[in-house]
Amino acid sequence: MTQFRKKNKRSLLSICMSFIYRKILSNCGENVMFDSIVYLMRNPQNIKLDDGAYIKANSRICPCNEDAQITIGKNTTIGYNTIIFSSQEITIGDNCMIAPNVYIVDSDHGMNKDQLMNQQENITNKIIIGNDVWIAAGAVILKGTMIPDGCIVAANSVVKGQLEAYSIYGGAPARKIGDRQ
C-alpha cells in the first residue's frame, strides 16, 4: 500500500457516498473513496469504478448519453477538479494517477463553415488509458487517444493519438520526450 493510500483512510462521508453510489453506478467496487463533493452526472448507471478507486473533490464524471461508458480501474486516483466526459467510451486502467485539473473528453464538434457550430454533429472516438499511467496536472486528453501501460504525460500537455508504452510525453501537442528507466 502506498503512503498516499495509508494516510487517506475512508471517511464516514466516503463510506456513505459509496453506499449510495452502489445503488446507481454500473459497478462500485470495494474500498472506493469519494471526497466531499464529486459529481457523477447524466447517466451514472454507465460508470464503473473498480476496487480502491479514489475520486477527489470537484471531479466531474459524465457519460453524456445512454450509450456512453466510463470505466476506472483498480487503485486509480482521479485528481481534484478533473473532468471526464464521454459520448462513446473512456477506459482508465489500474493503478493510474490522474492529477488535478485534467480534462478527458472523447468527442468534439464538426467544423463545417456552412453550418452554425452549435448545430453540428458530435464526433466521437474512444479513449483508452492503460495501467500504471501518470497524467500530470492540467493535461488534456482528446478523442481517439490510446495511452498504453506505463506512460507519463507531462503537465499541461495536449494528447491525441497513439502513444508508446513506458514513454514520457509533453507539450501541446504532446510529443515523446523520453522513456521510463
d(CA 84, CA 143): 12
In the chain, what percentage of residues exceed pLDDT 90? 85
Q: pLDDT tens across 62-85, in order? A: 999 999 999 999 999 999 999 999
Catalytic residues: 109
Burial 125-163 (b: 16+ CB within 10 A, else e): ebbbbbbbbbbbbbbbbbbbbebbebbbbbeebebeeeb
pTM of the predicted protein model: 0.94
Look at residue 17 and tell me whether its pLDDT is greater than 90. no
pLDDT at 170: 98
Q: Is the pLDDT of residue 9 over 80?
A: no
CB atoms within 10 A of CB 93: 20
Cα–Cα distance, 163 to 175 (Å, whole number) = 9
Taking only the tens place, the pLDDT of each residue in 152-162 is 999 999 999 99
The confidence band for 116, taking pLDDT boundaries of 50, 70 and 90, is very high
Q: What pLDDT sits at residue 80?
A: 97
